[in-house]
Structure 1
Amino acid sequence: MKIIYLLFCLIIFASLSCVQQTDENTYDLVIKNGTISYGNGRVENEYVHDIYIRDGKIEVIDPRDVGYYLFAHKTIDAQGLYVFPGFWDNHVHFRGGESHIAQNEKFLNRYLEYGVTTVRDAGGDLTPQVQSWNYEIENNTKKGPTIYTSGPKLDGEKSRWAGSLEVETKEQVSKALDSLQSLNVDYVKLYDSTISREMYLEIIKQAESRGMITSGHMPFTVKLDEAVNEGLNNIEHLYYVLKGCSSQENEITEKVISGELSFWGSMNALIETYDEETAQRTFSKLKENNVFVTPTLHIGEVLSHLDEQDHSNDTYLKELDAAFVQTYQGRINGALNASAKAKQDRKELQQFFNILALKLNEAGVSLLAGSDCGAYNSYIYPGSSLHEELAEMVKAGLTPAEALQTSGHNGSRFLKKDNFGIVVGNPADLVLLRANPLEDILNTKEIEMVIKGGKVVFEE
């Protein structure tokens, strides 16, 4: 019996030694011996496989014991490392006008250094530059994350943000959507600084009829049900969800329409009239209609404490252009000049939002991790702030696995992009970590290496 076994082993060994290296079985890169979390909704399941990459895509995911016939020009030994899909930040801004183009461009590399291989640009005034950068990134002539962009925001006349498309009539809505489609944007971003309730709902209605994805703020003159019924796909921030959880949403909406209540003036009333039964109905409606919610907890935490926290020694802050840092001053001044009551109200509102985020998650509503980083948003740093957002979600009560799913898994679902996760055929956008974020979400910061499109773009 021993002789037969030895002969069998010799035959196998001989056959292996005859395997020839060819173009077909040779790959650009192989990552061996890493512990892999696939990121396709099963992030709690870990495996030790090898990942073979060619032309920027994952081509083979092979157990180590059957990888003998494959070759690679470069090998990365990931022994002791955790291999995760690249992170997505689902709410960023490239903005500030021509004077801030250079600083915005510098952020492209910073995202990669923090393992953020994809971002969702939520509107700004640098659309031509953003699209040019994205083209260069896709063609491997510039380092940076994949950028999915809304292009200009849609708002009303005399809108708050530069670069917005202003609409006051149905015809203007149609022309604005024509313009966005000609730019080949990935979704439509709605803003609420001056938009009328009628035009807000009209944008969603027309976009829905064109098959365009919509996301945005919501004017308080609109009820949450109305926006969902028209087809809104994602709600940015939790103010608007909170409104839909009030037992007196109709009355508060009418007071906003009449001018009796302002946006901020209605917050205390919304918290006081929060009703669990109403909230659960709202959560069910969001889930049934596949409406996503981007809580942006980290920026809320930072802005609500601007009056008492000193950021002057932030390492990242020192790397920013002085002119860019100056854009932070508006929110800082607003926080410092607010009344004692307003300061306390803002902190209590943020605490309530943490509770609300957990309730949404428990109800099965799909959340998106988005930092809201960019010019004017004080101390919300591109790249690093995504990690802070994930940490805030865990602090609110999500598990690390649930928080991680709000990044790339849910981000790709929202944009209907079937390209996320360590899956054959997907882009090789990977982060190699020294510790397991499923055990401690802060381990997302333990970055050893970042791979974008099959190329190593950052190494510790």
Structure 2
Amino acid sequence: MKTNPTLYCFALLILLSTACQTETKEKVDLAITNANVIHLETGEVEVQDIYILNGKIKAIKTAKSEQAFEVDSTIDATGKYVLPGFWDNHIHLRGGDSLIAHNKNFLKLFIANGVTTVRDAGGDLTPSVMDWKSQIAEEKLVGPTIFTAGPKIDGPNSTWAGSLEVQSDEDVENALDSLEKLQVDFVKLYDSRISAESYLKSIEGAEERGLVVSGHMPFTVTLGETIEAGMDGIEHLYYIMKGCASNEEEVTEKMKTGEMGFWGAMPALMDAYTDSVAQNTFNQLKENHVFVVPTLHIGKTLSYLDEVDHSNDPYLKYMGRGLVKTYEGRIRGALNASEEARESRKQLDAFFGKLAKSLDTAGVSLLAGSDCGAFNSYVYPGVSLHKELEAMVANGISPLDALRTSAYHGAQFLKQSEDYGDISEGKVSDLVILEGNPLEDITQTQKLYSVIKGTQVFSKEQLQQLLDSATLE
């Protein structure tokens, strides 16, 4: 029997068409649809669908485009705004064994406030922190991704418990060996007792090993020396102010001889701020890719402890009595200070706000960090990161630039941009969905609709439950 060519071709077309229609679509765990996606690098907002598989962004498509995946669950984000999960780039997990449980409780507060990553800038709870870090990575514990410095490096008889005390080149090498063995994510230097020589040697040694290094700066060295040694990040603005003063070298020499102390140097440096010197310093910071952590919110909080009553702060109930007791030292210091010292501190706070704006205008990369933790009075985990963003905007920094100081710059600083920092294919799916547009109103960062942490999804109701479960009263 002869085969009809026309019928044969027709049957083949039907078979091919049917095969195409029944082709299995790739499965994904979650789709966030119709979202206003804020792309921090460009500042553009695009209405897009985000597809997530195994804790990573599988694809990003124009909203309402042809469905490319079989989706397990969907979040309709119509009218909502999506950002990378927030990073708090300066926290402390510390306070000794009696406060381990209090510090662990912080982890809930971070997630409840959309903070999916933290940079722990040195403490005395390293074994616990490393354990929490591992459990969070395996999603056995609810909390933010932790990048930690472990113990700080400082000089002999250092201020903070658990610090690695150095006073010779051999001590510095041993300290760095110890930090590498701990597999810390960066090195943190402190300035309470460290000598100028050990400080610069620590920076150089960390850089030689390929370790990111940040810290305070002893006033016995200049900011230029610090940058030239290879410092990656400057914590707080005291040290930037010193590098912007026309009398920096004079103050440095007086600090070396003991003729001047740290707080005594503040008025002299603030009065000697010189725009031409500052611009040179800003250029040096920018050219050497040095990040700066302004910590404006804690500066204002501590500067006004003598005027503001925090006894009814809603977040006190999450701190626990043991941790709140650590606040007493700073409170006593503020209340017992002379009227002149109080006024000087407030002038310094206002000055730092303007300095942060000048750094941003000059193109220096800022990092949003709250400095929350034991001993830092009334600066609360989670919510204080949002207060830091508000403080930046209040001092003239644009909402977009303020938002960049969190996840976008945080990932760059720690060399984690391959996995974090923006919303693009292949990145870890740490995301926040906001009710409103933070580019128009920075306080919208606190209006959380949902938080996605890897494969974990927290609705608004679940975030409230997490917050409620953190109560320690």
Map residues 42-441 of structure 1 onto 2, 5 A cutoff. Answer: 42=42, 44-418=43-417, 419=419, 420-441=421-442
**Residue aligning to 2:451:** 450
Secondary structure of 2:269's partner? Answer: helix
**Distance between the aligned counterparts of 2:448 and 2:304, measured in 1?**
29
Contact (CA 8 Å) 2:34, 2:64: kept in 1 or not? Answer: no
**Distance between the aligned counterparts of 1:423 and 1:138, measured in 2?**
21
Secondary structure of 1:406's partner? Answer: helix
Contact (CA 8 Å) 1:234, 1:292: kept in 2 or not? Answer: yes
**Distance between the aligned counterparts of 1:187 and 1:320, measured in 2?**
27
**Distance between the aligned counterparts of 1:450 and 1:21, measured in 2?**
33
Shift in Å, 1:205: 1.1
Contact (CA 8 Å) 2:94, 2:103: kept in 1 or not? Answer: yes
Secondary structure of 2:57's partner? Answer: strand
Secondary structure of 1:65's partner? Answer: coil
Contact (CA 8 Å) 1:143, 1:457: kept in 2 or not? Answer: no
- Quick one: structure 1 residues 214 and 16, their matched pair in 2 at CA, closer, same or farther if it must change by over 3 Å? farther
The alignment's TM-score, normalised by the length of structure 2, stands at 0.92
**Distance between the aligned counterparts of 1:80 and 1:188, measured in 2?**
42
Structure 1 counterpart of 2:429, one-letter code: A
**Residue aligning to 2:471:** none
- Point out the structure with max Rg over C-alpha: 2
| Cα displacement string for residues 176-210 of structure 1 (whole angstroms, at most 9, x for unaligned residues) | 00010111111110000000111001101111111
Contact (CA 8 Å) 1:123, 1:149: kept in 2 or not? Answer: yes
- Quick one: structure 1 residues 103 and 21, their matched pair in 2 at CA, closer, same or farther if it must change by over 3 Å? farther
| Cα displacement string for residues 205-264 of structure 1 (whole angstroms, at most 9, x for unaligned residues) | 111111111100000001111111110110000000000011111111111111111000
Secondary structure of 1:377's partner? Answer: coil
**Distance between the aligned counterparts of 1:196 and 1:20, measured in 2?**
71
**Distance between the aligned counterparts of 1:272 and 1:324, measured in 2?**
37
- Bigger Cα displacement from structure 2, 64-73 vs 385-394: 64-73
| Cα displacement string for residues 10-66 of structure 1 (whole angstroms, at most 9, x for unaligned residues) | x9xx969964474x6111111111111133x12x20011111111111001112333
Secondary structure of 2:64's partner? Answer: helix
Overall identity of the aligned pairs, in %: 54
**Distance between the aligned counterparts of 1:129 and 1:64, measured in 2?**
43
Contact (CA 8 Å) 2:303, 2:345: kept in 1 or not? Answer: yes
Contact (CA 8 Å) 1:235, 1:294: kept in 2 or not? Answer: yes
Contact (CA 8 Å) 1:247, 1:278: kept in 2 or not? Answer: yes
- Bigger Cα displacement from structure 2, 184-193 vs 56-65: 56-65
- Bigger Cα displacement from structure 2, 204-213 vs 324-333: 204-213
RMSD: 1.5
- Quick one: structure 1 residues 99 and 20, their matched pair in 2 at CA, closer, same or farther if it must change by over 3 Å? farther
Contact (CA 8 Å) 1:236, 1:294: kept in 2 or not? Answer: yes
Shift in Å, 1:320: 1.9
- Bigger Cα displacement from structure 2, 141-150 vs 417-426: 417-426
- Bigger Cα displacement from structure 2, 312-321 vs 395-404: 312-321
Alignment size in residue pairs: 445
- Structure 1 unaligned regions, length at least 5: 1-10
The alignment's TM-score, normalised by the length of structure 1, stands at 0.95
Secondary structure of 1:306's partner? Answer: coil
**Distance between the aligned counterparts of 2:314 and 2:45, measured in 1?**
34
**Residue aligning to 1:8:** none
Shift in Å, 1:319: 2.5
Structure 2 counterpart of 1:444, one-letter code: T
**Distance between the aligned counterparts of 1:416 and 1:134, measured in 2?**
18
Shift in Å, 1:83: 1.0
| Cα displacement string for residues 62-111 of structure 1 (whole angstroms, at most 9, x for unaligned residues) | 12333323111111111111111100000000001111111111111110
- Quick one: structure 1 residues 16 and 230, their matched pair in 2 at CA, closer, same or farther if it must change by over 3 Å? farther
Contact (CA 8 Å) 2:296, 2:388: kept in 1 or not? Answer: yes
Shift in Å, 1:458: 4.5
- Quick one: structure 1 residues 193 and 19, their matched pair in 2 at CA, closer, same or farther if it must change by over 3 Å? farther
Shift in Å, 1:381: 0.2
Secondary structure of 2:261's partner? Answer: coil
**Distance between the aligned counterparts of 1:67 and 1:106, measured in 2?**
44
Secondary structure of 1:448's partner? Answer: strand
**Distance between the aligned counterparts of 1:386 and 1:405, measured in 2?**
13
Secondary structure of 1:235's partner? Answer: strand
Secondary structure of 2:73's partner? Answer: strand
